[in-house]
Amino acid sequence: MQLYQEQTVRIHNSLTGKKETFIPLNEGQIGMYVCGPTVYSNVHLGNCRTFMSFDMIFRYFRHLGYKVRYVRNITDAGHLVDDAEDGEDKIAKKARLEQLEPMEVVQRYTLDFHNILEKFNFLPPSIEPTATGHIIEQIEIIKEILKKGYAYEINGSVYFDVVKFNKSNDYGKLSGRKLEDMIANTRELTAQDDKKSPQDFALWKKAEPEHIMRWPSPWGDGFPGWHLECTAMSTKYLGETFDIHGGGMDLKFPHHECEIAQAEASNGKSPVNYWLHANMLTLNGKKMAKSTGNSILPGEIFSGENNILSKPFSPSMVRFFMMQAHYTSILDISNDALLASEKGFNKLMEAINSIKSLPEGKKTNFDINTWRQGCYDAMNDDFNTPILIAKLFDAVKHINLIKENTESITIEDKDLLLQTMQNFTFDILGLENKKSSNVDSEKLSGVVELLIQLRKEARENKDFATSDKIRDQLAGLGIQLKDGKEGTTYSL
């Protein structure tokens, strides 16, 4: 029996606004699509948080025994500056500014994206398709929408007719917006506008002579609208209806709303059963923005080369910090928050490292199986990583009491405790326990053991000043001595 047959997962569905029991279309199999990055600059820390949330969800479903096809795209064309309907493509603009070919820009920042995600210990998606690799599929969808009468071509561009679509469908059901309100709150079209209504969006844009990224189509040379690529790639690899579609909260409207409209217009089916949206990341209580200087790149956190944080922080520690907030909550990153999180991270790793050496007793003082199910209950409740981490620290408390011989644990329960801690900490949360090399560890251990012996001799000679000095100076270096019945031990 697979774990997913024993555990019931409930997730918050943005489409209904409710927490629902997750039931996949096909038993034991999950199709999940997540909107990937537009590769025209270094990956943003806030984007990393979104992708990290879905990496965690991907990991948990795999742990439960599901076969997951996880598709996360690369947007390398069709995304206009400021998400506008007119203007310059983000990648083409960057290429012009840096005097590069657009695909050089794409290659540079795709490599950066993969490099940062690898440092954060992401699992690669099952498929990572690109927008430019699916131009044919996008053109075919446009043809179908035109055929159904939900789009119109004018001057070499094709637009989705939102007003007509809304007569028989519900445009705005994901974001909770009403088309009448949207129309009332938008500007009038100017004489230069090709669109029938301000709410209409581009399926295909005519390429002006200066536009670098262009492809031939039945309507002339041009490029696809931004929203279309995800409809093309998700349906190609996951089918006309699939289980989960994820992305950042900022994509709910208009991007995901337009995806739903395109899919329903082209094949008459609702494309996704469960929509999941991850919330934003702020820095020192404010929105991240390069223009105000209130921004920081992942690499700058890892290296410490920034004017915001007091020291470097490891990728795994930053991942731990992000997992301490629910994926649907706004999370604020600051120097104090990272320092506090680092203490907890080190405490957790120290506890896990010490489990194998715990003394074994004839009984266990806490209910391992109930605690273990509590870890699953946290993840089953819309992937509640903050509650899971609290459960892991419940175990840390017991581990420390066992080390002090205040509690005991049987050999069977010790094995189950170690397996469970490793499963949830490393396999599901995706944290890494990177230790120093064995040689360095042995050298450090030898030096500390020597100092412990010198301290013991000082105490026996009633030289408490020297004894305290050794203890305090080691503490200042982050090495904590612990005196117990069996002698003195240390922890980092």
Q: Quick one: which of 485, 455, 459 has its CA closest to 470?
A: 455
Annotated binding-site residue? 230:
yes
Is residue 240 part of an annotated ligand binding site?
A: no
Residue 290 assigned ligand-binding role: yes
Of 489, 453, 455, 447, nearest in space to 472 by CA = 455
* Packing angle, helices 385-403 and 315-323, rounded to 10: 110
Rg, C-alpha atoms of the chain: 27
Residues whose CB is less than 8 angstroms from the CB of residue 14 and which lie 6 or more positions away in sequence, other chains included = 174, 252, 275, 276, 277
229 neighbors 258 (Cβ within 8 angstroms):
no
Burial of 412 (0-12, 13-18, 19+ CB in 10 A): exposed
Host H or E run for residue 366: none
Q: Is 375 annotated as a binding residue?
A: no
Q: Which of 286, 266, 210, 237 is nearest to 125 (CA)?
A: 237
Q: Are 415 and 407 within 8 A, CB to CB?
A: no
**Cis peptide, bond prior to residue 198, ω within 30 of zero:** no
Give the separation between CA 316 and CA 313, rounded to whole angstroms.
8
Rounded CA separation 197/199 (Å): 5
Question: Does residue 259 have a known ligand-binding role?
Answer: yes
Place of tokens 């076969």: 67
Residue 196, Cβ density class (10 Å: 0-12 exposed, 13-18 middle, ≥19 buried): middle
Distances (CA, A) of 114 to 68, 74, 150: 20, 11, 38
3-state SS, residue 304: coil
- The DSSP code for 95 is H
* Residue 339, CA distances (Å) to 251, 294, 347 in order: 31, 19, 13
Strand locations in 232-355 (E): 242-248, 272-278, 281-283, 286-287, 331-333
What is the spatial distance between Cα 319 and Cα 270, in angstroms, rounded to a whole number? 34
Alpha helices in 149-256 (DSSP H): 162-168, 179-184, 226-238
Annotated binding site for ATP: 290
- Per the annotation, binding residues for Zn(2+) are 35, 230, 255, 259
Show binding-site residues: 35, 230, 255, 259, 290
